[in-house]
Structure 1
Amino acid sequence: MNLIQKAICLLLLASSMSTIAEAQQKKYEWKEGTSGGYTYKYIVNDPMKARFYTLKNGLTVILSVNKKDPRIQTLIGTRAGSNDDPADHTGLAHYLEHLLFKGTQQYGSLDWSKEKPYLDQIEGLYDTYNHTTGDAARNVVYHKIDSVSGLAAKYAIANEYDKMMSGMGAQGTNAHTWVEETIYEEDIPSNVVDKFLAVQAERFKDPVFRLFHTELEAVYEEKNRGLDNDGRKSYELMLSTLFPTHNYGQQSTIGTVEHLKNPSLKAIRQFYNTYYVPGNMAVVMAGDLDPDQVIKQVDKAFSYMPAKPVVTYKAPVEKPMTAPIVKEVFGPDAENVMISFRMPGALDVKSNVLLAVISEVMNNGKAGLLDLNINKQQKVLKSGASVLGWKDYSVFMLNGTAKQGQTLEEVKDLLLGQLDILKKGEFDESMVKAIVNNAKLAELTGLESNTNRANSLMDGFIKHRGKNWVTDVSFVDDMGKVTKQQIVEFANKYFANNYVLLYKRKGEDKNIQKVDKPAITPVEVNREAQSAFLKQVNEMPAAGIQPMWLDYDKDIQKGKLGAADVLYVQNKDNGLFRLYYRFDMGSWNDKLSPLAAQYLQFLGTDKYSSEQISKEFYNIACNFNVSTGTDVTTLSVTGLQENFDKAVSLFEHLLKNCQPNEQALTALKGRIGKSRSDAKLNKANILKGLASYGMYGTKNPFNNQLSQADLDGVTAQQLTDILHGLSGYQHMVIYYGPQTLDAAIAAIGKQHEIAASPKAVPAPVKFDKVSQDKNQVLFTDYDMVQSEVNWIRNGGTYNPETTALVSVFNGYFGGNMGSIVFQTIRESKALAYSTYAYYAAPDKKDSRYSMVAYVGSQADKMNDAIGGMNELLNDMPRSDKGFQTAKQSMKQDIETERITQDGIIFSYLAAKKLGLDTDYRKTVYAQIDGITFDKVKQFHDQNIANKPYTYCIMASEKKVNPEDLKKYGDVKVVTLEEIFGY
């Protein structure tokens, strides 16, 4: 999904699906309502039925009801981000986001009166540090900061916020900072609104910036991860060039290295006091709620906030660009090109509508100019268009990756060539109607999600305080009014030689910096401690939510289409359908099957070209896909039920009648070759392959690839024969949609042939997990600042009776921010930004478990990080309160989980794969209360502690001492060819 498609889902969920035959200006308009003693505003025909409240102190509250699940997505946001950072303290808004998880005087502290003097001293020391020059002098001050921080930490309760949220059943605890926003996110059970608001009201009333120097180190790590990310570097350089005066380009969210090294707690406090004021903030809640009740609760919780003036960033006006500005970024990852134009911002509604349409005309995944003229014809490895939409300016971007033997300059010319076609109007105006139909399809799907609802509403608040929500609601209708002439005029006005051209080239980045590791003494985390506030929150009453179990015999209807089983669930919510043909075979049965699936998108038939097929699917707002996994191949057709017959007929025609195209195959082979080369440059791919090597050995699922010789020898006829013959194998038909079972079977049967005697599925290649009988280090060199370490140990064969025990262990030990691993590695020792550890369950009944752990740290902290994780793997600390919280959270997750729609069918199929025939969550739920810490400790000792592990380490050989690696086991340097299989 490109950014504009995402924007449609997040920003434009309020659709124009209403059939009210009124004039446009009457169809969507503000109205005022009163209920429960509160006045609110709403938009007529807004399908989200969002209510917009403004409390007496200026706080905005936006509520949207969706009864699908007994949960509520909550967002608390402020219109303050990196735009608003002081010029001499960039990254400050992001620092503050981290610190608002640290607690207040009421929670996060054992004894505030004893903690406060140390925190005051630390604040003063940072101010001194901020003004001290010279390494020796600064080291003296920092040593004192470290010392006093250790004393202060004795009174701190680390992660108490996370414990409270986890204890009330919250999921997705997180926050993010961007240029114009800082937003705090929680997904809560619908029965804990009072608890949630009690915590949030306290959180924003009285934040205490404790445990600062260890959290600062986590931000250092985040910065260093960004310095290792070529995409992040390209993004920041693009913005700084496109916006030479505006803070969009002059202040990155993470901040400069220099400012990170010189933080000021006083400046952070001043930022908080200035921007975290009710008139600048919004509480958004979407889900299973009673708005009359919730608004009273929010008002009561946040009425303490006094009204204050709102300070807004005064945006400078950028001078027009008169010629292209060319920049280069160097790094180890694959090369690409980006072309960026500065556009009008979100407040220019007309321009935003046009820009949304133009982005889709250029690239919609099926029928855009880039899709048909570049991607479908395989003229580059890949290309796309997207929009970044902010309040003052937007950014329109074209991007492309070169295929084998192609220069980035050639890719640039191809991208600009499609822009020229747009400017000349050489495209079909009917595409606008198709764009609107597909936007409506995205809206129907998006309305089912509380997250999409909440994000859309919050985004509207950030950009225009919700005052222009009516324009968001009517946005898709307005897109439908756009004419070809308007598109051409807009394109010629804004797309000239006024762009930033950025080449991401492979090579050494000679300007790379890193934030050096300061000397940090591990601090206390006081795992067993609980504040009086936490106990008070836990004791607040909450009505119970009863779990709902699936009964596969009742919840799924079954039928037959010839020899094929049909699994059916009816869609009673809207007019969407999803049809699947599911085959129990995949790449392990035939290495050519993924290639055939990929090849299909470039093929035509005796009646239609490949381009015509793509256009037709886009015009009827439907999609098709062929997905080949390791042991399952799924053919799917989805979209509007009203177009079911057209979509299924067209897909069946393509599958049966696709014609060999040697030219397309030659181009595909070339692109695959380039993709393979690029994959060897990507550190995420390398680490994934290295972990598979550690888990399965030299022959593993990751490197189960066609050799170059095999790839070269594949013919177009071979691949089309595979596609033509697919339906001849035994398979299952799955339907989720509005039709009845009988009607669905009849409709599918008209189009889809089922073989009377299905062909036998080819025998699969078998991959067995290796047994670790001694410690081993698998090392791969990669040019980066950080090091990445995975621990791998394979366990016993799947046993459903241990499911509850394994789940409780994961929740307690290393599965979230409140876990033992996260608290120790990040909060206490500041050794990593990202870390986890869990006992991974298999998806088949005859497969084995695997213990997987991870730490990503600076290379010079790798040994400390490995030592810290090894301590936890060998000796699991005991926290009775943390253990109870983990169990409570797990129960609440199950109580509020609702498996619906076609998810019911896929839950059934997943259970069958594990040899189960019931909803095993019911058994797990019943066992949770009986699981004791001693049982989990015994499980840890028997399966994890003091056992041999395979260490999969990726780092720069320039930054890692080979002798250090030998401390952990026999070292094997694994080549990229061994990892990737080619």
Structure 2
Amino acid sequence: MKNLRLSLLGVVLSLLLNTLAFAQKTFDWKTASSAGYTYKYVSNDPMKARFYTLPNGLTVILSENHKEPRIAALIPTRAGSNTDPRTNTGLAHYLEHMLFKGTDKFGSLDWSKEKPLLDQVDALYEKYNKTTDSSQRKAIYKEIDRVSGEAAKFAIANEYDKMMASMGGQGTNAFTSYEQTVYTEDIPANAIDRFLKLQGERFRNPILRIFHTELEAVYEEKNRSLDNDGWKVYEARNAALFPTHNYGQQTTIGTIEHLKNPSLVEIRNYFKKYYVPNNMAIIMVGDFNSDVLIKKIEASFKYMVAKPVQEYKSAPEAPITAPLVREVFGPTPDALTIAWRWSGSLNAKEKIIGTIVDELMSNSKAGLIDLNLVKAQKVLRASCSPEWNKDYAVWQMTGSPKKDQSLDEVKALLLGELDKLKSGTFDESIIKAIAANYKMNAIQGLENNSSRAYSLLESFVADKANNWTDYVAINDALGKVTKQDVMDFAKKYCGDGYVIVYKRKGTDTNITKVDKPAITPVEVNREAQSEFLKDVNTTAMSNIEPKWLDFNKDIKKGKVGTLEALTVKNTDNDLFRLSYRFDMGSWNSKVLPIALQYLQFVGTDKMNAEQISTAFYRLASNFNTSYTDHHITLAMSGLNENFAKTVSLFEDLLTKCKKDDAALELLKGRLLKQRSDAKLNKGAILQGLATYASYGAKNPRNTLQFTDAELKALKSEDLISFLHDLFSYKHAVVYYGPKSVEELAVALKGVHQINTTFKADLPLIADFKMESPTKPAVLFTDYDMVQAEINWVRPTIPFSPSETPIVELYNNYFGGGMSSIVFQTIRESKALAYSTYAFYQTPNTKDEKYRMIAYIGTQADKIHESIAGMDELLNEFPSSEKNLETAIASMKKNYQTERITQDNIIYTYLNGLDKGVKTDERQAIYQALDKLTLADLKKFQDTLLAKKPYSMCIVASEKKVNLEDLKKYGEVKKLTLEDVFGY
């Protein structure tokens, strides 16, 4: 299955099981009472979700899942960029950032002294917004910076994050989109009381403190979007699709003009207007008792008072009757997007037909685009996807051209496949296969707290949970959609009224960067704690004992012929996952990566590539091939009832595939184009620089691949021979499913090729070794961008199991999240970056070295400040007892509630063996945490990282960064793209 938006998952998740197994069930709203509370539910809902409405109008949606002692929590408000004032776009997004800054009870050393200063900041921003003279604006901003600095002396940065970390919270974050702003958390099941105490206070009286540094983080986010060609395509698409609606007329992050002129008064007014209980929800999924939890939620949020909320309503969009053409320029490769605006009034049946239309076009295996364009290698890549918003849906097809192929040729190919849908030139039976594949994915989704929570979120945002019956019942019709339904829908909603966006490689002359304001670093008062934090952190949490893996008990080991079999039994459902794992990888063969890709495009004597792909899809089965430096994994998954057919189909493909010279020539062309495109990807360039810094001029990135000439000379026989020969090398069988190890051995007998003896593994092409730099160096590659991307890289010592506890604690303390030292300093105090982190990377094998990787993505004009900021942290250990307490508490509570299950148990075991570790590493870490001190962390950093030479990798535009200025950081080496990539 391709990756679908969570909203689509919400449309189809809850009823997929019922679609196939219980098609005659009914799905109706029912009312029940328990523990003094009345709630609604939908009959035959496999999530058994309860929908409460508290007396103040707050929606509470609860779904119990007792698989692990954790809870996914979402707190949405039905307000986003759609409800931003036209004069203050980006306001909802600003507010989202500020809801992490605390209230008058936390985040402040002394609220009585902080408040007058913040009032001054409010007034200064209002004055700043009304001033047009540039010199006067600079003077006012200088005063804003000064007063903000004074106010920050009374602020405690990141108290929210510290409280969440201390209770074992994970995934602390938030996001804003058109119709919603959502605050996300994942907490231990025993942290409910702490969590609700904090959340209830969080929304009571949020204070807009440390505002100008956080606003600078938003500036950085805006500038990052200006460097993101995909984001520019998205904005251009929406502006054309929605000339009236705010989907196209207002971006979530806001305009540059509005970013430069924020109003704290307007932000506060927005909060009062939309953050009211009748416009919000508490959604929790996981290990709890609903009768107990609902009482606690009401107690924490009953102070909220309902207010009338006027929903955003736009004038209807006029129909698009002819193609609207837009162009976007940027440094990344050419690409094409064709998008249709679908009516916001689609009924339940139309939504399911729309889903079927999308899947018939592309489901990653047997869709028209998949088979006729991707498998046939007529384009570099192509796909389609829906976007289900509240007022309108958008459906789009995207494509990237091969070498010497025009975007208009890609357009013609995509529209040609759509025409087949309209004319009915497709196999109607694939609709049943779509239903079967959704069944398999639904079973998996029901196990996951987050998937459940996001399904409920989409329902709430769309209609305050009143349409949950549609989300449950609509799938009863999934397999009943007919070819005529599809044809009629496609003709009605996928006509000539579309928007086409040509993304062309070139210079974007329209970019206007948000300029860097003068900001003085502010205090973060790292050691301070509010009384509220102390109260939250001392709120009782019942004890949950950690559960460590015992590989001798948790994994059943046996034999499948001469092969070692490692199995974990699935007692929950009828799904299986089977893998063959080889102790060889890309360091053993240059042919390997290409051969595994080639397998996707060849057939056997009985079936061609398209028929094989369709056969897997009909079975609701998957296969994929992957590799790392030292391993190859051939994986299959699906329904247990189709185990034999799935395995046989894959085995026939691998062992009986036949050469296809035409397919190879097309693949070579696509690979050459992918190589060329990689040179236009700033992320790939930065990764290449980091590899160069770690291994030197001859490294895995630029050595373990064919040159262009070698690739062109490659023959089908070379690839087919490699694939046919693969099972002659020893491999392990990894299985998670309903069968016992004995039943697995019987099921694979006669299906899987098992030799009595095996060839010796292929030797290493080269045994690459990381080397610590002996002197500072700067590796620079020029790229046309607004931002600058910087990595600090230093390999250190070989892996040692005894180092694992301090490594894990150091990462959590120093650079691992929003409560870490790096984030607090670089972003919160100095406002140097939107994204920053640092971590001491553990190697994958016992023979490899650790390496330090630090990162800042910043504006080019802040590069020297950013380098100085990270250098200071790396060279002078930042000592904080309170941060250490937070890090230890967070790690302990996470280990107590973490449950490694299913085949993850096996891969945890195998990954440990690669490092020479035969037990659950988490147990040693957990037992060591209370013994580790700041002195230990300081010694660790001073010994391995501080005042040591680093290789600094920089991707930036030479027009914005002076290479001469970089020489003060070390010897500057400007690397070409050929140096980085090896071709």
Q: Distance in 1 between matches of 2:801 and 2:20?
A: 54
| Partner SS, residue 750 of structure 1 | coil
Q: Distance in 2 between matches of 1:491 and 1:16?
A: 24
Q: Is the 1:625–1:635 contact (alpha carbons within 8 Å) kept by the matching residues of 2?
A: yes
Aligned match of 1:215: 214
| Partner SS, residue 513 of structure 1 | coil
Aligned match of 2:743: 743
| Partner SS, residue 184 of structure 2 | strand
How do 1:779-790 and structure 2 match up within 5 A?
779-790=780-791
Q: Distance in 1 between matches of 2:779 and 2:426?
A: 53
Q: How much has 1:50 moved relative to structure 2?
A: 0.8
Q: How much has 1:594 moved relative to structure 2?
A: 1.0
Q: Distance in 2 between matches of 1:470 and 1:642?
A: 30
Aligned match of 2:954: 953
Q: How much has 1:12 moved relative to structure 2?
A: 2.6
Q: Distance in 2 between matches of 1:497 and 1:542?
A: 60
Q: How much has 1:46 moved relative to structure 2?
A: 1.1
Aligned match of 2:376: 377
Q: Aligned AA for 1:769? A: M
Q: How much has 1:535 moved relative to structure 2?
A: 0.3
2:565 paired with 1:534: no
Q: Distance in 1 between matches of 2:970 and 2:418?
A: 56
Q: How much has 1:495 moved relative to structure 2?
A: 1.6
How do 1:483-494 and structure 2 match up within 5 A?
483-494=482-493
Aligned match of 1:972: 973
Q: Aligned AA for 2:690? A: A
Q: Is the 1:782–1:956 contact (alpha carbons within 8 Å) kept by the matching residues of 2?
A: yes
Q: Is the 1:2–1:385 contact (alpha carbons within 8 Å) kept by the matching residues of 2?
A: no
Deviates more, 1:304-313 or 1:94-103: 304-313
| Partner SS, residue 365 of structure 1 | coil
Q: Is the 2:20–2:439 contact (alpha carbons within 8 Å) kept by the matching residues of 1?
A: no
Q: Distance in 2 between matches of 1:353 and 1:70?
A: 35
Q: How much has 1:562 moved relative to structure 2?
A: 2.0
Deviates more, 1:625-634 or 1:544-553: 625-634
Aligned match of 1:478: 477
Q: Distance in 1 between matches of 2:429 and 2:446?
A: 26
Q: Is the 2:165–2:887 contact (alpha carbons within 8 Å) kept by the matching residues of 1?
A: yes
Q: Distance in 2 between matches of 1:834 and 1:507?
A: 26
How do 1:753-792 and structure 2 match up within 5 A?
753-764=753-764, 765-792=766-793
Q: Distance in 2 between matches of 1:870 and 1:298?
A: 45
| Partner SS, residue 109 of structure 1 | coil
| Partner SS, residue 926 of structure 1 | helix
Q: Distance in 2 between matches of 1:346 and 1:831?
A: 45
Q: How much has 1:310 moved relative to structure 2?
A: 2.0
Q: Distance in 1 between matches of 2:975 and 2:475?
A: 52
How do 1:624-663 and structure 2 match up within 5 A?
624-663=623-662
How do 1:268-307 and structure 2 match up within 5 A?
268-307=267-306
2:152 paired with 1:153: yes
**Structure 1 residues 902 and 323, CA gap change in structure 2 (3 angstroms):** same
Q: How much has 1:11 moved relative to structure 2?
A: 4.0
Aligned match of 1:78: 77
Q: Distance in 2 between matches of 1:17 and 1:959?
A: 56
Q: Is the 1:440–1:476 contact (alpha carbons within 8 Å) kept by the matching residues of 2?
A: no
So what's the TM-score if we normalise by structure 2? 0.99
Q: Is the 1:347–1:464 contact (alpha carbons within 8 Å) kept by the matching residues of 2?
A: no
Q: How much has 1:715 moved relative to structure 2?
A: 0.8
Q: Is the 1:344–1:351 contact (alpha carbons within 8 Å) kept by the matching residues of 2?
A: no
Q: Aligned AA for 2:430? A: M
Aligned match of 1:840: 841
Q: Is the 1:4–1:359 contact (alpha carbons within 8 Å) kept by the matching residues of 2?
A: no
| Partner SS, residue 751 of structure 1 | coil
Q: Distance in 1 between matches of 2:22 and 2:388?
A: 30
Aligned match of 1:87: 86
Aligned match of 1:850: 851
Q: Aligned AA for 1:788? A: E
Q: Distance in 2 between matches of 1:265 and 1:683?
A: 35
Q: How much has 1:574 moved relative to structure 2?
A: 0.3
Q: How much has 1:701 moved relative to structure 2?
A: 2.0
| Partner SS, residue 262 of structure 2 | coil
Q: Distance in 2 between matches of 1:919 and 1:779?
A: 41
Q: How much has 1:5 moved relative to structure 2?
A: 6.5
Q: Distance in 2 between matches of 1:832 and 1:344?
A: 40
Q: How much has 1:18 moved relative to structure 2?
A: 3.7
Q: Distance in 1 between matches of 2:329 and 2:418?
A: 27
Q: Distance in 2 between matches of 1:635 and 1:205?
A: 53
| Partner SS, residue 649 of structure 1 | helix
Q: Aligned AA for 2:709? A: A
Q: Distance in 2 between matches of 1:622 and 1:769?
A: 40
Q: Distance in 1 between matches of 2:421 and 2:876?
A: 64
Q: Distance in 1 between matches of 2:538 and 2:4?
A: 45
Q: Distance in 2 between matches of 1:837 and 1:620?
A: 44
Q: Aligned AA for 1:679? A: A
Q: Is the 2:69–2:286 contact (alpha carbons within 8 Å) kept by the matching residues of 1?
A: yes
Deviates more, 1:146-155 or 1:6-15: 6-15
Aligned match of 1:823: 824
**Structure 1 residues 230 and 5, CA gap change in structure 2 (3 angstroms):** closer
Aligned match of 2:505: 506
How do 1:891-930 and structure 2 match up within 5 A?
891-930=892-931
Q: Distance in 2 between matches of 1:784 and 1:593?
A: 35
**Structure 1 residues 726 and 3, CA gap change in structure 2 (3 angstroms):** closer
Q: Distance in 2 between matches of 1:976 and 1:596?
A: 25
Q: Distance in 2 between matches of 1:7 and 1:727?
A: 42
Aligned match of 1:123: 122
1:605-664 per-residue CA deviation (whole Å, 9 max, x = no partner) reads 111111111111101100111212221001111000001011111111111111100000
Q: How much has 1:702 moved relative to structure 2?
A: 1.9
Q: Aligned AA for 1:785? A: V
Q: Aligned AA for 1:435? A: I
**Structure 1 residues 237 and 572, CA gap change in structure 2 (3 angstroms):** same
Q: Distance in 1 between matches of 2:414 and 2:19?
A: 40
Q: Is the 1:578–1:636 contact (alpha carbons within 8 Å) kept by the matching residues of 2?
A: yes
| Aligned length in residues | 981
Q: Distance in 2 between matches of 1:970 and 1:15?
A: 61
Q: Distance in 1 between matches of 2:409 and 2:582?
A: 41
How do 1:936-947 and structure 2 match up within 5 A?
936-947=937-948
| Partner SS, residue 17 of structure 1 | helix
Deviates more, 1:576-585 or 1:741-750: 741-750
Q: Distance in 1 between matches of 2:345 and 2:538?
A: 45
Q: Distance in 1 between matches of 2:77 and 2:620?
A: 37
Q: Is the 1:727–1:753 contact (alpha carbons within 8 Å) kept by the matching residues of 2?
A: yes
Q: How much has 1:2 moved relative to structure 2?
A: 4.2
Q: Aligned AA for 1:733? A: V
Q: Aligned AA for 1:501? A: I
Percent sequence identity is 56
Q: Distance in 2 between matches of 1:350 and 1:436?
A: 15
Q: How much has 1:6 moved relative to structure 2?
A: 5.0
1:332-383 per-residue CA deviation (whole Å, 9 max, x = no partner) reads 0011000010002376323211111100000000000001111110000000
| Partner SS, residue 626 of structure 1 | strand
Deviates more, 1:362-371 or 1:912-921: 912-921
Q: How much has 1:454 moved relative to structure 2?
A: 0.6
Q: Distance in 2 between matches of 1:940 and 1:709?
A: 46
Aligned match of 1:963: 964
How do 1:599-678 and structure 2 match up within 5 A?
599-678=598-677
| Partner SS, residue 756 of structure 1 | coil
2:728 paired with 1:723: no
Q: Distance in 1 between matches of 2:832 and 2:848?
A: 34
Q: How much has 1:537 moved relative to structure 2?
A: 0.5
Q: Distance in 2 between matches of 1:4 and 1:588?
A: 34
Q: How much has 1:750 moved relative to structure 2?
A: 2.5
Q: Is the 1:11–1:455 contact (alpha carbons within 8 Å) kept by the matching residues of 2?
A: no
**Structure 1 residues 19 and 6, CA gap change in structure 2 (3 angstroms):** closer
| Partner SS, residue 866 of structure 1 | helix
| Partner SS, residue 755 of structure 1 | coil
Q: Distance in 2 between matches of 1:217 and 1:889?
A: 29
Q: Distance in 1 between matches of 2:900 and 2:446?
A: 17
1:836-884 per-residue CA deviation (whole Å, 9 max, x = no partner) reads 1111111111111101101110000000000011011111221111111
So what's the TM-score if we normalise by structure 1? 0.99
Q: CA RMSD in A?
A: 1.2
Q: Aligned AA for 2:396? A: M
Q: Which blocks of at least 5 consecutive residues in structure 2 are unaligned?
A: none
| Partner SS, residue 187 of structure 1 | strand
Deviates more, 1:680-689 or 1:9-18: 9-18
Q: Aligned AA for 2:15? A: S
Q: Aligned AA for 2:925? A: V
Q: Is the 2:561–2:745 contact (alpha carbons within 8 Å) kept by the matching residues of 1?
A: no
